[in-house]
Structure 1
Amino acid sequence: MISAEIRELFPILKQDVNGHPLVYLDSAATSQKPIQVIEALKHYYEWDNANVHRGVHTLGSRATDAYEGARAKVAKFIGAASEQEIIFTRGTTTAINIVAASFAESVLREGDEIVLTPMEHHSNLIPWQQAAKKSGATLKYIPLQPDGSISLADVENTITDRTKIVSIVYVSNVLGVINPIKEIAAIAHKHGAKIMVDGAQSTPHMKVDVQDLDCDFYALSGHKMCGPTGIGALYGKKSLLNNMEPVEFGGEMIDHVDLYESTWKELPWKFEGGTPMIAGAVGLGAAIDFLTEVGMDNIFKHDVELTNYALDRMMQIPDLAVYGPTTNRAGLVTFNLGDVHPHDVATVLDSMGIAVRAGHHCCQPLMRWLEQSSTARASFYLYNTEDDVDRLVTALLKTKEYFGDAIG
């Protein structure tokens, strides 16, 4: 397990909530921020705040260096071949929308196929619904196994020579499933399709190498990996990005503008219209420095061990249902406590200082597959401990006692 000293680097965790020490178990929604990231943001605004790629003055140069330095850190962190393959976005949602609007529009025709899974977050579902409506393409879904995982045999049976795009989550934000992206990419490429990977839940918790995965596009969100909100990135193979049209137009992304025609800057700036999220990028760079120092292999090992501990403890609670596989899963446990509504469970837990998520988790089709309207979810990160899990289990037992007849 990661040293308890890591927890001391997160100021927000030192508070009491409703008279109890905070136990934060909602990192799948957004992670907390270490002091290094908070200080990096503070330093930028106090010393370097200026627009980028424009002024030749000292502050402008320092801001540009910090912004582009963060891009280099993202590229190295996920194993991109070039910094030009990293587009800064508002987050995973924006990144997927860029691919669905620009790349999809250039390749999809009526009768083509877009392949997804029922476990996709709405951010990796709705953009493809819209792309299918505009192009006349067909949406197809790789079926789920009874535990919520997918089999490569089903992948082989779903992807065909008519498939142009496969878009799939690396780690499910509900089931915790870790999908075999490298193998799925190989199957997609065998049929001439391109693969988009939703990396919102994978990037914070495990080492990612986009070249080894051989994915064509990869999206991430900074706020789930100890960085600020409002910043993320799209990785795309340079050959694909070069042939894609921008989806936002204005300042920063232009090369030459006439009254009737304009041309675009080279990669990556042609996709970054307007003043970018400069401070967010600086904060994301600091978050990457922090995660790299801790070690992604260490974080993954910690999260898996803590999740296994939580599964062992929680599955001993009578009338508590856990969803997703018991092996090959990332750092979260999604559950329901008898017939008690998840919102009621979350409210009682909050009264004891424990923060969990309740609802459909932006995965309504998956909820219907689970035959549930909503679930509760405890998600873990490098600052969580076995003591946090023990407090969760104790609180769930008290919740069960509180609702009494509503259980079962």
Structure 2
Amino acid sequence: MGSIEEDRSATAGKVISCKAAVLWGPKEPLVMEEIRVDPPKEMEVRIRILFTSICHTDLGFWIGENEAQRAFPRILGHEASGVIESVGAGVVDLKEGDHVIPIFQGECRECAYCKSENTNKCLKFGVDPMRKLMVRDGTTRFRTKDGTPIYHFLNTSTFSEYTVVDSSCVVKVDDHLPLDKMSLLSCGISTGVGAAWNTANLQVGSTVAIFGLGAVGLAVAAGARARGASRIIGVDINSAKFEKGRGFGVTDFINPKEIQTPVHQEIIKLTNGLGVDVSFECAGNIDVLRGAFSSTNPGWGLTVLLGVQAQPDLLPIHPMELFDGRRITGCTFGGFKGRSQMTTFAKQCFSGAVDLDKFVTHELPFDRINEAIQLLMEGKSLRCIMQL
């Protein structure tokens, strides 16, 4: 491909042929295909993706954890950054050449939820793993060379050199910020740090327990440290994660496989019998959630649910356990309203509030995406940034 400026002038309003990593079935290797990407329709933008990475949500869908989500062929991916190639009719706050990140949790700014300060959900463009087509007209913008429709994923589909995204799911960022690191803010880092800052509203001296020290859990730790938490207890069955966790602010580590008592009892001991102020469940495991809830202070403890539970299991909490003051809540995209708040959050990160470099453990070219999936599955990477 030529320069970005040359590509924009040559492709605006036309169907683009480009490479994409297409998933044809659960657990199948992604296939690098030449696909066709339609121009953006009304209120949509077409983005040239420059950097993308793999999140556990992508991995869960690739594995096929939930039968109801299956629709193939499909282009996964929702952590990315790039440059707008063209805009559709009606788009007024974005233009060709803007540096942007696509976001799976959109913000239309028109619905009752977007106008409320009490939620970051959007009625029209909120995250929906079942959605496989564009919201406004229910069609796809992707096709194979022979015309077979390819489905979208999480409002974004970033495992493609070009993608079409509704303008409600696009955040313009400052041109001087590095786009490779900006891709991290599309999901995992924002989710973890935002859970600590927005959902839990941690204060100086707060005590915290984090169950699961993947990228999201470590982002929670980074956010907790930035807020001045006095104790950050990391829980993971992989003891090798402790040294890495220490670099993100984890002060204590518990491996459930190496102790004889339940984890929550160990946490209560570490907190002088009180339990932590806030626990974060980042593993997507119903039994882990039970332990996270039990580790909090009975009078005011808060459990923040971040891990995605693929199975239709109910919460393992008896209603009477909530009467003393314990609470439990979910958190999506860190509680951030993407279009309204992500630009400020990005500036905070690059001003030193969060060290994004620590999350990048690998870098690979896009055509080695299956290697990146394997690294994540084996627990060897936090984020592998792929350049397209």
Q: TM-score category by the smaller chain?
A: 0.3 to 0.5
TM-score (norm 2): 0.35
TM-score (norm 1): 0.34
Who wins on radius of gyration, i.e. which is larger?
Answer: 1
